[in-house]
Structures are given as structure tokens and as C-alpha cells.
Amino acid sequence: MTAAPPRQDAAAARARPERVLTGVPVAPGIAVGVAWLSAPGELSVPECPIAPDLVEGELQRFAEALALAQKQLRKLKTKAAQHPAAAAEELQVLLDARLQMLAGGRLVRGIEARIRDHLVNAEAAVRAEVGAIADSFAKMGDSYLAQRAADVREVGDRLVRALLRTPYQALQHMPAGSVLIAWDLTPSDTALLDPSRVGGLATAIGSRDSHTAIIARSLSLPAVVAVAEIVEVVEPGDLVIVDGTEGRVVINPTPETADLYAKRADDMARERLRLARIAKLPAVTRDGVAITLSANLELARDIPAALAAGAAGVGLLRTEMPVLNADALPDEDEQTRTLSEIVAGMNGRPVTIRTLDIGGDKLSAKLRRHLARELGSNENPALGVRGIRLGLARPEVLDTQLAAILRAGAHGSVRILLPMITSVTEVRAVRERLDRVARRLRRRGLAIANPLPPVGVMIEVPGAALAADALAMESDFFAIGTNDLTMYTLAIDRGNDGVAALYNPLHPAVLRLIQFTIQAGLRARRPVSVCGEIAGDPRYTSLLVGLGVHDLSMAPPSLPRVKERVRNLSARDAALRARQVMEEWDETAIAALLDSVD
């Protein structure tokens, strides 16, 4: 990487016109600061043949460079540990993966072989071996392996720099208040970031789930990625605004634009403080009805956000998310580790673990190949083998997960939630399997949840909603999945833009199914929660509470606003209004009623 120090040449910067570039917003907030440009510089690398008698010396140089690179990475790990927990954890894994590559495996052996057999200097050997490995990954046309190819190249770059004794640019020396502009950031770069000095960042490449995005979010740094021209357009010292909420980067803003953003940044900071205060208050309506607000989670790394937002527990853990890109499903021990981390991280709060909801739109090409036999023709996947259907078609997959859930249940309170249930037979079949798995684990002498966890069902298929009274007899709780319930009730594919305008959870048919389910649950004294997207939208809070739901689960960032809504409403008035809503048959009138609630 090459970089120039920030140039505070305001007059020169002002002479250039304002430019606005757009990209993908990955970490919300607004940062204003002087651009610190960090672009990958071309290292001039000497590559040459060597005489056989120089081989030993060259191998020695390589061994020294290897030791130096390992030392640097270990130092970076110490630096990374100083970041907030979520960022530190993410970086440790990434840096460990790089250390692993330098630990004597294919890369190191390949480089040494090239020096010895091809009689080339160490730099040439590193370049050639890294190129060969990265190309073989890249050729497989898979985004996961493409990322591994980038990781190998980065490690190769570190080795070459170590051979040439050319240090990396020191990001930790960025002046306070800088905005970091880069082509991309490696985990090693981010380990060195001092969040108190960087206001925000923008990169030319990346995606919502790239390392840079994840780290920016966990460091709370406003960030925009995939801003195609950013490195060409921004000059060191330019005044830059990064709008990580809208995905915009303004370069050399006019005074009017700068004022506008300064005001927005103030408003956002005030709003953040207000919501942080709300997170600590109880979720109780004006007339004293307590509502449980939980978090929908996918990974352990979401736990700090859930706790900071005041989540009472995890109402929905989507276990399929971490494995969607895997070649095969993780084994029992690995699943136990993943789940135990989440259960322990929630510190005694209940964690509702949904068994794998694979199938439908949730299926990678790799898993599709792996599960081809069970998936059948799969021509209409949303109506095919999905969720519990797959679990029952591949009982060993379900058993492995049930075992992991039971073992994780030894570390805290867990509940088991079954996706895509349509009949009581499925619930009975799972319960039988659960009992058998529990007996087997006890025989192995392993600690498991005691008593066995409650088993609940997702109500997300119209048939399940209409059979809710029967399902209530067989299950311990309901979680209404309004995302799929809306899709299946209205025959509208969640992911199809062409029918997106017709997708409406306020359609009277959907509302009646929700109401029917809640009433069946309440009659049988089964807890009923809503965990679809509407649970996190304050617009629906009054209706859901009015229909009798006392349990809502949502993405952590939605929690404070929903809690604010809960605290402002009266459950009695909400029930009266819900009755009015349920008497309406016109969707527009229903929407108007919802919006008129005070």
C-alpha cells in the first residue's frame, strides 16, 4: 500500500467541485473528515534465476522472512485484541487463518520447492506459488473460494514485503478525524485501525458481508463499500463525507451540503442516545402489560448488539444462516460449540433455537448438490422439501442438530423451534427423535438440558395456522412467521420483485390467520410470539399487542423503537383498535387505521 499524509489544503480542496459517489451502505452513521488515502501500491519485486550454490542462502532468507511475517501477524493479533469484543473476535479468526497458512503447509512447502527445484530467488518463488494457489481457488468460480484466493495473495504480499524489508503503511498513525479511503482493507489493516482517530471509511470494493463491512459495523464506524471510483476521485486532503446510512460519499462538499450533513449527524447522534436510554427501560404498556421483546439472531457475533438493545432473549435463532455456504453440514461437536457460545453469551436469557430451515430460497448450489436425493425434483422449491420436511427426510441431520441443541442447553435456557410445520404428525415425529437423542446422549454421559427443552412450532403456512388448535395440543409454544405466512397465504414469492407490490401482511386473510393462531394458542395456554419482519416494525406493534401477542422477536436494531411504541400504547385501547381492524376487509382502510393509532 502507498499513502500520502493528509493535506489540509482547504483552499485547493475548495477549488474542486463537489462530487457525490454512491456505494453499498454497510455501517450506519455520518462521518466528516479529511481523506486519508490508502491505495495498494505496486511493490517493485526483483525476480531472477539463481545459481545452485545460492539455494541454501535463499532458503535461509525465506525462513527469516517467514519468521518476520509470523511475528508481525502475532503482533497484529495483540493489537486486534484491543478492539471492542465483536471486532476483536472477528479479527482473531482472520489473523489466525493467515498464521495457519504460514505454519508450514502447502504454501510454505511450495515456495521452498520452487527455490530449490526451479532455481529462482525467494521473491519469485513466493509470487509464483501464491499465484498458482490463488488461481486454482479462483477458477472454481465460488465466492467463498474467491475470498480464500484473496487471502492467499495478501499473505504472499506480506512475505514479499518481509523479504524486501518494506514495511506496511502504518494506519495507526492516521491523524485524528481522518476518513479512510481505500481500494479494500485487509484484516491486517483493520487490526491497526484506531477507531478513535478514524471517523469513517469508504472502499472501492466489498459487500455487506465483507470483512471490512463486518469490522466497520462492530467498531461503529460509518462505512460505504463498493464505491467504484472512490480511489481515483478522492485526493489526499480532500474534505469527505461518508454517509453510511444512505450509501453516499460526498467529496469536497459545498458549505450548504456540509451544513446539511452536520445537522443530520447531530440528529442521528441525539437519536442514538435516546434509543440507548430506551434500551434500559422495561417494555411495559401505559396500562401495565409487560411485553417480551427478544432478538432474532443468526450468529454469535450479533449477541452484543442484542444485549445492547435490551433483548430479553433470543426469540428466533436462524441456524441455517451460517451453513448456507458450506459444502456439508457441520458435525455434532461443531454445532454444539456454535450453539453453546450463543447460549452462554445470552447469560441465562432464553434462546429459541430453530432447527435448520434449509430449502426454498434458503439453499446454496453446494448444499443443493449435497442434498439432491432428499430435495426431489425441487422444481417448486418453496412448496418442496424445506425446513422440518428436510429434517425428517434426513433424520441423521435432524438428530445431529437436536443433539447439539440439547448439549448447548446444558449452558443455559434453550427452546426448540420447528420450521415449516404443517401437521401434528411432524411434531410427534420430532418429539420421538428428541427423546431418543436425549437417551443416547445420557448414555454417553454428556451434560444436556434438564428437563428437556420446550418444543414449539413456527406458524408460517396457512394450513398450520388453520390447524393451530390441534398443533397447540402437540407443541409447547407458537412462533408466528409472518414472512412466510404472508407469502404462502397470498401466493406471492418473497423474493420476486415482480409481485413485491402485492406482498402485504395487512391483507385481511393474513391477519385472520394470525388472529386464529393467537386465539388457539391463548385458549391452550401456549405462549405465542411473532418473529416475522412485522414484529420489528413499530407500525404493527399496537395491532399485535391488541390481538393478544405479548412476545415479539426482531432484528436487534429494531428493538428500541418497538419498545418505545410499547411504552406509549395502552393495551386496552390497542385491543379495541385491533377489533376495528379485524372488522375491516379493505387493505387500504386497514393501513389507514393502523397509521391513525396514537
Evaluate whether 190 touches 212 at the Cβ level (below 8 Å): yes
- Candidates 189, 302, 484, 533; binder of Mg ion (CB under 5 A) is 484
Contact between 318 and ligand PEP per CB under 6 A? yes
Angle made by CA atoms 144, 153, 95, in degrees to the nearest 5: 75
End-to-end CA distance of the chain: 56
Contact between 154 and Mg ion per CB under 5 A? no
Among candidates 464, 458, 51, 23, which has minimal Cα distance to 240? 23
CB of 480 to ligand PEP, least distance (A): 7
Rounded to whole angstroms, how far apart are CA atoms 198 and 177?
A: 6
Contact between 533 and Mg ion per CB under 5 A? no
Question: What stretches of 23-83 adopt beta strand conformation (E)?
Answer: 24-27, 30-39
Rounded to whole angstroms, how far apart are CA atoms 150 and 206?
A: 12
CB of 357 to ligand PEP, least distance (A): 6
Q: Which sequence positions are flagged as catalytic?
A: 211, 531
Contact between 302 and ligand PEP per CB under 6 A? no
State which of positions 515-534 bind ligand PEP (CB under 6 A): 531-532
Element (H, E) at 205: none
CB of 354 to Mg ion, least distance (A): 9
Evaluate whether 334 touches 295 at the Cβ level (below 8 Å): no
Residue in the structure block whose three cell numbers are 413485491: 500
State which of positions 364-403 bind ligand PEP (CB under 6 A): none
**Count of chain residues binding ligand PEP (CB under 6 A):** 10
Binding mask 20-49 for Mg ion (x = CB under 5 A): ------------------------------
318 binds, among Mg ion, ligand PEP, none (CB under 5 to 8 A by kind): ligand PEP
- Nearer residue to Mg ion within complex by CB, 129 or 533: 533
Rounded to whole angstroms, how far apart are CA atoms 518 and 478?
A: 8
CB of 483 to Mg ion, least distance (A): 5
532 binds, among Mg ion, ligand PEP, none (CB under 5 to 8 A by kind): ligand PEP
- Nearer residue to Mg ion within complex by CB, 456 or 481: 481
Pairing relationship of beta strands 178-182 and 30-39 according to DSSP bridges: parallel
- Candidates 199, 481, 546, 556; binder of Mg ion (CB under 5 A) is 481
CA trace torsion 145, 151, 157, 160 (10° rounding): -90
Contact between 536 and ligand PEP per CB under 6 A? no
**Count of chain residues binding Mg ion (CB under 5 A):** 3
Rounded to whole angstroms, how far apart are CA atoms 68 and 312?
A: 47
DSSP 8-state code for residue 203: E
CB of 481 to ligand PEP, least distance (A): 3
- Three cell numbers, residue 547: 390481538
State which of positions 449-488 bind ligand PEP (CB under 6 A): 460, 481-484
Closest-CB residue for Mg ion? 484
| Binding site residues, ligand PEP, CB under 6 A | 316, 318, 357, 460, 481-484, 531-532
